[in-house]
Structure 1
Amino acid sequence: MKILVIFIATIWFVRLLFNLLSYIHLWFIKEYRWDRMWIHLHTRQGKRILFPARRIPQLTPKTVVLFLSTLLVCGALFVLLPLHPLFSLVVIDIVLFPITAGLVFFMKLPTMIYHEYKISQAVSRLRLHKKMMVIGVTGSFGKTSTKENIATILSTKYKVLKTEASKNSPIGIAETILEKLLVPYDVFVVEMGAYKKGEITRMALMVKPEIGIATGINAQHQDLFGTIETTVEAKYELIAGLVGRRIAIVNADNQHTRQMMQWAKRDGVSVWAYTKEKQNLEADKVFSAANIQADLKGISFDVTVGKERAHVVAPVLGEHQVSNILAAIAGAVAAGMSLASAAKAAHEIQPFTKTLSLIRGINGSIYINDTFNNNPDAAKAALDVLAMANGRKILVFQPMIELGSYTQVSHQEVGKAAARVCDDIILTNANFSEHFIDGVHSVNPKKNVSILTPIETARFIRETVKKDDAVLFKGKEAEFAFKLLT
């Protein structure tokens, strides 16, 4: 009997250990924010919090402290609870997530103090540096690619510092400055993200941008912002915070950023617009794209500004990338490059990590890795790329999060697009799957949509794909299946 108890206790302890690692991973990807975690807990995945998907968190000082602190609390509970050891393990299992939540709460104050200290250090270093041209980039989608594009183009003429990956918060910007601003730079390209109003204002006050790029706004993070109107106001904080020359570069093909153009004019900011469409725009400069060509090797187009014209060729996938490159070219011209040299430098642009990166898969198939992020516009753009493939088309898709009142319609729209393009559709979890499937079946009632684990997904792909078939992995969770196949 004693051996059986020890065996059960050992198995249960292993379960607790895996659950703890999964909870810490979840807090990490939610950036230790209670508002984002609260939204997650209302999804189907969140309602099964006692049975989380097995995940290993990234190793950081904070994840290590949270792990060790939780182990300490759980150990104390195990010793102090006046219960049989197995019953103590059951209690700890039930309260494990609340324990991590409580520790995250208690870590908030020291974390905030530490962040404020690092931010003040970074601002001091920035003020002591020689004058740099600072370019801010914001939007609901396309901001990381645009930031990378403009840094690549400007690097052919200037020494450029950029925020790393998607470090687009005040502490992320501060870390970039403290780690990278060790030698003189000419230009600093700063990505700015936000979950509520006031956050971009804080970043603008830190870096004092002269040029601001608004890439486009959609329903992403509506659970946090509340309304699209609030999102627009939050993103406009970059334009409102411009100093010096005050040049706003705005996506004129997005109805919400077009509204920002009017506000910028009202505030006396110089407005530059970029567009893929033929439209008359009231702006100081308009960067227009024409003769757009896109295939699985890359894109090409002509860019026109007034009477100037240049040809652009870039090895990135998707017609939507034209907008990101137009924004980058406009930013480069604003920073001092000629249109011709900026357009030529665009050839050096490479796909950002995990954004529509194409590799060869098993049996001569094609894998399209687009697991960096997911939102309605990005999902539809990725499906347009998948549609270019010749063979069977498979989608591995993570349902989108934090869309608020746009959750249903956004998943239905992406589902419709997927039904038109894909032969097989696999969802990585059941969140909002009913809305996605409604969209699929409104186009093709017989189209099957499966909800599979990463192992099941990888097995299906291995058994199914043939030469020239294409598999699109969309969203962070889709990366787990992708890694099993590569």
Structure 2
Amino acid sequence: MDIYTLIMNAIIILLIAIFIRHSLHRLRYFLHMFQQLGYKTNEFRHWLMDHFYSRFFTSEHIFFNLLILGMITLLVDRITLTAGSITMFIFTLFWFLDLSRYKAEKEKKPLVYTARLKRLMVTTLIIIGFLWFYMIDIAYRGVQLRDFVAPFINVDPYFLSFGMVVVDIFIPIFLFMAAYLMKPVEKKIQNGFKKQARKKLASLPHLKVIAITGSYGKTSTKFLMDAFLKERVRVCVTPGSFNTPMGICKVINNDLDAHHQVLILEMGARYEGNIKELCDIAQPDISVITNVGLSHLETFGSQEAVAKEKSTLAKELKSGGTLILNGDDPLVRKMADLRDDVNIVFAGSEGKVRISDSETDAEGTRFEMGIFDDENNRIDKEIFKTKLLGKHNIQNMSIAAAVALEFDIRLKTMSIAASKMEPVEHRLELKERNGLTVIDDAFNSNPVGAKNAVDILASFKTGKKIIITPGMIELGELEEQENQKLGEHIAKAGLDLVILVGDNQTKPLQKGLSSVQNGEAPDVRVVNTLFEANDLLKDYASPGDVVLYENDLPDTYNS
């Protein structure tokens, strides 16, 4: 083999290597997005359509295919295969060596190589690997074009390049195929975990299962319940936002022990039937429903559909159990009519647990909690002081107190527990950072919580007041309207700087901000990413200033 043949074969091998490297990085990127979307094929399909030209079928794919078409139709009889191979290699190097489109400088939520993800990845790689081998084999075996000078290569560079770019384009489709192929396997594995969890719960007849759901506030209320109950009983509680079937099964199978007396489970829902699936794993002795809001309208379609799904927790409650409802939410209050064989407890202005004389500011919250009997007589009261911020946490605390009363825990005991509580991570969590006061409310913003967080920011008396937000998502047809309302609320709050993350995403916020003319308008800046927002904050803010991080969209919203 002469030196020219060696060089040309090395060029072909490098061309193949560049494409394989590019495709593997695309696969990792799409696996990351698929994981963040909860492995939901329908949501992944919608995401791909929303990012069709920026991620799925990109400009380099279009131009490279046009190049191949031009080479075959115009130049194939005029230049040698050697020249064609060099041309293909140069453009491959130019368009596909760069991976920046699929490598974020920083990932908000890194890819986690779980057992499920590894199974999915291996299945996809088998599909892709077969196609790579097939394309390369045909390119070497089926050469139709021949050099009209010395034949330094024995491969069709045009078909090889076309085959490699087609595989690269269809990486997300192959991921879809792998996901569907693995569905029966994943279902069998999940059913095994569910069966194990049900068997374990059956072996603990003394255990009381408390299940909580709601559009928002359920995680904070869950941890309040835990804080109150653990003063007297041994509690096992799901961490963070573990509210899916596999999250619940993991806690039951791995963390729940025979000495536990209470199991607190958070039950989330994005689709109809989600809560029924969770209750089939662990049927509650006590069901708690916090509210019915505007979250997840993207999948449910209407607030009434959300209410219907949340009401499943009331329907699935064990006969003779206790149903604890937020009496100040009309849609939740109506759920009391669903059962006549359970004990109904309302928390709210006319319920068993009532709040009065509440005060909330930057330092925390103070209020009086009272307990009332069926004849509307107050039978106990206590002053609560807590570091938790916001009016919504007062409501959460009244619901948690209603649960604690079922275990004969006194208000005084709850008050002591409340005084020691720290905010839940990313939910109005107060921090100090480089001399700044930071209000971290970055978890899954909703209309009620977002306005409440802005009011808390406005309540600070010293320093410049700054908000960083991309707005709210998953509000369906109301998303634009609710974000515009939030923009108007921000404009009236007397803030100094508003940093909006994502120009297109925050258009309704911008409209709301600009619609308010009275008062001194805040300075509004628009940036592309949270990291740019933080850079701007460094230049603007001084020690003593206060910054609110309101919502933080997942990596799936990065363009």
TM-score, normalised to structure 2's length? 0.77
CA separation in 1, counterparts of 2:536 and 2:15?
Answer: 34
Q: What residue in structure 2 maps to residue 443 of structure 1?
A: 516
Label 1:85 to 1:47 Cα distance change in 2 as closer, same or farther (>3 A).
closer
Label 1:228 to 1:78 Cα distance change in 2 as closer, same or farther (>3 A).
same
1:326 is aligned, of 398, 404, 418, to 398
Unaligned runs of 5+ in 2: 1-6, 57-100, 140-157, 373-377
Q: What residue in structure 2 maps to residue 414 of structure 1?
A: 486
2:196 is aligned, of 121, 124, 135, to 121
1:461 aligns with 2:527: no
Is the 2:320–2:341 contact (alpha carbons within 8 Å) kept by the matching residues of 1?
A: no
Q: Kindly state the Cα deviation for residue 99 of structure 1 after the two structures are TM-superposed.
A: 1.9
Question: Which segment drifts farther, 388-397 or 151-160?
Answer: 388-397
1:225 aligns with 2:300: yes
Q: What residue in structure 1 maps to residue 387 of structure 2?
A: 315
AA in 2 matched with 1:305: I
Q: Kindly state the Cα deviation for residue 6 of structure 1 after the two structures are TM-superposed.
A: 7.6
* SS of residue in 1 equivalent to 2:422: coil
AA in 2 matched with 1:412: Q
Label 1:438 to 1:355 Cα distance change in 2 as closer, same or farther (>3 A).
same
Q: Deviations over 1:382-419 (max 9, x none)?
A: 22222233322322223433222222212112222232
CA separation in 2, counterparts of 1:32 and 1:120?
Answer: 22
* SS of residue in 1 equivalent to 2:406: helix
CA separation in 1, counterparts of 2:397 and 2:522?
Answer: 39
Q: What residue in structure 1 maps to residue 370 of structure 2?
A: 304
CA separation in 2, counterparts of 1:346 and 1:398?
Answer: 32
Is the 1:399–1:429 contact (alpha carbons within 8 Å) kept by the matching residues of 2?
A: no
CA separation in 1, counterparts of 2:449 and 2:423?
Answer: 14
CA separation in 2, counterparts of 1:52 and 1:374?
Answer: 27
Is the 1:136–1:191 contact (alpha carbons within 8 Å) kept by the matching residues of 2?
A: yes
AA in 2 matched with 1:463: D
Is the 2:470–2:506 contact (alpha carbons within 8 Å) kept by the matching residues of 1?
A: no
Q: What residue in structure 2 maps to residue 211 of structure 1?
A: 286
CA separation in 1, counterparts of 2:501 and 2:167?
Answer: 29
CA separation in 1, counterparts of 2:183 and 2:26?
Answer: 22
Is the 2:496–2:522 contact (alpha carbons within 8 Å) kept by the matching residues of 1?
A: no
Q: What residue in structure 2 maps to residue 391 of structure 1?
A: 463
CA separation in 2, counterparts of 1:260 and 1:447?
Answer: 45
Q: What residue in structure 1 maps to residue 227 of structure 2?
A: 152
CA separation in 1, counterparts of 2:208 and 2:438?
Answer: 39
Question: Which segment drifts farther, 393-402 or 314-323?
Answer: 393-402
Is the 1:152–1:348 contact (alpha carbons within 8 Å) kept by the matching residues of 2?
A: no
Is the 2:498–2:522 contact (alpha carbons within 8 Å) kept by the matching residues of 1?
A: no
Structure possessing the higher radius of gyration over alpha carbons:
2
Question: Which segment drifts farther, 370-379 or 304-313?
Answer: 370-379
Q: What residue in structure 1 maps to residue 343 of structure 2?
A: 270
- Matches of residues 333-482 of structure 1 in structure 2 within 5 Å? 333-362=405-434, 364-389=435-460, 390-421=462-493, 422-430=495-503, 432-444=505-517, 448-477=524-553
* SS of residue in 1 equivalent to 2:170: helix
Q: What residue in structure 1 maps to residue 88 of structure 2?
A: none
AA in 1 matched with 2:466: I
AA in 1 matched with 2:530: P
2:333 is aligned, of 258, 263, 267, to 258
Q: What residue in structure 1 maps to residue 148 of structure 2?
A: none
Q: Deviations over 1:235-291 (max 9, x none)?
A: 011111112543222222323223324x24x6344322222xxx5x3xxx4211112
1:67 aligns with 2:121: yes
* SS of residue in 2 equivalent to 1:346: helix
CA separation in 1, counterparts of 2:394 and 2:334?
Answer: 21
CA separation in 2, counterparts of 1:35 and 1:336?
Answer: 46
- Matches of residues 42-121 of structure 1 in structure 2 within 5 Å? 43=50, 48-50=54-56, 54=104, 55=107, 56-81=110-135, 82=139, 83=158, 86-121=161-196
Q: Kindly state the Cα deviation for residue 218 of structure 1 after the two structures are TM-superposed.
A: 1.2
